[in-house]
Amino acid sequence: MSVDKLDQDPDWLSTVLATSETIGPKSILLITQSDRFEMLEEALRRANYSLIGCFFLDQPKEDLEQGQLSATNLMEFTLRSTVDEVLIYLPEAVDQVSDWIRGFETMGIMVHVTIPGYEYPSSSKREASIAGIPVTSYAPTFHKTSDLVLKRIMDIAGALVGLLICGLVGVVLYPLIRRDGGPAIFTQDRVGRNGRIFKFYKYRSMYMDAEERKKELLDQNTMEGGMFKMDNDPRITPIGEFIRKTSLDELPQFYNVLRGDMSLVGTRPPTKQEFLEYTPAQKRRLSFEPGITGLWQVSGRSEITKFEDVVALDVEYIQDWSIMDDIKILLKTLKVVAFGKGAK
């Protein structure tokens, strides 16, 4: 099948992405009027969308107990929740529509609009059909289906090789890491694409009380806002120094890649606490699957001390993404690991 034909056949994408345990119904937020709700809810359900919230412009629905939003909490809800897409379905435009679209795009969220006679001034739009409903879709950037399929195939192949290496290395690392009586694998809730929570795995490089001690070390954070980073971190174990320097601690994340929680290349997933402090513009870095490596890691991460610079690199990666970019970053990552550049 040709690449062009692949782009026109969403079943191919579904087949490949079905290898991911985290792929399920897309989460969608609905803005409409109450008399259109039942029709839209049924159409979205049949199209395998999960309705996460509704904002009715006319009046609340008394029989809808959960997920009803208001003008005052619409954007905050979207910022803190898992929202993949937004559907705005109205009989006519209202003054707030352009502001809504702009706000959702700032977070990296695709917006589908059905409003007779309305057009948002954007060069990044497509005519499409969502749940059988003709819409105009707006997004900061659109990626080709064929490229997304190739990215997932590359992830699966890379994850299988990585897990083999992880197992072989683990034979040596397991007893060394467990010398202090703790587990060899560190697990933590992290925030993935569009706010999804997943279990994140690493070889443990810190003492067991690292999270508790972090509170005592916040004043030594060398990263300005949004992320914790510290030189000569006293929470790191002796073997942890080695596995962090060589990036061996990252090997268990190939399991996250195989599951579909992460990709080989992407943005680094934040902790839940870090995510709660995100601004709308910072959430855009979560509009792609998080990665084991990324543009930030190969751009001299040790010298980057402002989280906004990390966000800028992540947005640059997402906006201009291509398969060739991933390949280049993977090759640069091998060089960084081989020479120990950027790791602290």
pLDDT lower than 70: segments of the chain? 1-23, 61-66, 223, 225, 301-302, 340-344
Report how far apart, in Å, the C-alpha atoms of 167 and of each of 173, 232, 248 are.
10, 29, 11
Distance from C-alpha of 264 to C-alpha of 257, rounded to nearest angstrom: 7
Q: What is the CA radius of gyration of the chain?
A: 22
CB count within 10 Å of CB 39 equals 12
Residue 336 and residue 298 in contact, taking contact as beta carbons nearer than 8 Å: yes
Could you report the per-residue pLDDT of 8-30, keeping only the tens digit for each?
Answer: 444 444 444 444 445 578 999 99
Distance from C-alpha of 266 to C-alpha of 326, rounded to nearest angstrom: 8
Distance from C-alpha of 21 to C-alpha of 19, rounded to nearest angstrom: 6
pLDDT of res. 63: 67
CATH fold of 3-138: Rossmann fold (3.40.50)
pLDDT of res. 129: 94
Max Cα distance, the chain (Å):
68
CB < 8 Å & 24+ apart, contacts of 37-42: 37/61, 37/64, 40/87, 40/89, 40/131, 40/133
User: Helices (H) and strands (E) in the chain — how many of each?
Assistant: 13, 10
Which helix H or strand E contains 114, and what residues bound it?
strand 110-114
What is the phi/psi pair of residue 341, to 5°? Answer: -80, 140
Task: Give CATH 3.40.50.11060 domain extents, the chain.
Answer: 3-138
Distance from C-alpha of 12 to C-alpha of 18, rounded to nearest angstrom: 10
pLDDT of res. 62: 66
Beta strands in the chain (DSSP E): 26-32, 49-56, 85-89, 110-114, 125-130, 133-138, 185-191, 197-203, 263-265, 291-293
Distance from C-alpha of 289 to C-alpha of 52, rounded to nearest angstrom: 20
pLDDT of res. 343: 53
